[in-house]
Amino acid sequence: MIRFRARLALFAMMAIFLATASNALFMQDRARLFDPNGLPSTSVSVTQFPHDKASPIAPAVSGGGIQQVSLPAAKGPRMHVALYRELGQRGYSEQLRQGDNGLRLAVLAYQFDNAMPLTGEPTNELLKRVLFDPNHGPHGAFADRAELNAKLVIETQKALLGLGFFRGTFSGRLDVWTANAIKDFERHRGLPVTGRLTDQTLLELIAFSGQPMLPAAG
């Protein structure tokens, strides 16, 4: 009987020791994950994934699932790199892959999809807005969406008229006169000749005219 009680006491002491050690380890890890204010720490990640610094990854929806799309390495000021990353995560990887103007094209597409004045300029204010915007960009070609926006088409017609490329009326439709004016402008600026409101053509038109455009909401 005495031996049984001694063994029971020994097991109880071992259990208390193991519980104390486990709690100490847990509290140590928790201290690393939270700052003194009780907020999650940005210096430690609970789950670490392999990361390729030369090829940022952005999710793309295809066939009902999410695929990983490789993007060129982001360069420039920290604000530009952050905006590049956030827009890539929100479905604007198609624009970001278009060379040196990729970020500006993505900014332009985001501004259009959110009925903002179209400038194509990355700014701190835009980054703040994107950071708190959980929505993803619409699917499909930018030109298809832009040409359905009558207000944007009218502003394009006015800009082309002011530059001497347009001779028609402000119809709000991409009619033959508007398409031909866009083609003339694209030839003049050395752009691919499409006759459509592509993001590249619209960005060049805004930069060349020096005037932002405001699309209609929705």
Q: How confident is the model over 103-119, as pLDDT tens digits?
A: 999 999 999 999 999 99
CATH number at residue 148: 1.10.101.10
Is there a single domain that holds both residue 132 and residue 175? no
Q: Sign of the CA dihedral 119, 86, 149, 167?
A: positive
Q: How many CB atoms lie within 10 A of CB 33?
A: 12
CB contact burial 51-68 (16+ within 10 A = b; e otherwise):
eeeeebbbbbeeeeeeee
What per-residue confidence (pLDDT) applies to 100?
86
Query: Is 22 a domain residue?
Result: yes
List the domain range (segments joined by +) for residue 121. Answer: 74-139
What per-residue confidence (pLDDT) applies to 42?
38
Query: Is 39 a domain residue?
Result: yes
Last residue of a domain, one of 115, 139, 163: 139
Radius of gyration in angstroms for the set of CA atoms belonging to the chain, rounded to a whole number: 28
Q: Out of 56-70, 74-88, 101-115, 187-201, pick the least confident.
A: 56-70
Last residue of a domain, one of 85, 119, 139: 139
Is there a single domain that holds both residue 168 and residue 198? yes
The token pair that represents 100 in the structure block: 């040196």
The string of pLDDT tens digits covering residues 158-213 is 999 999 999 989 999 999 999 999 999 999 999 999 999 999 999 999 999 998 99
Query: Is 218 a domain residue?
Result: no
The token pair that represents 73 in the structure block: 């390495």
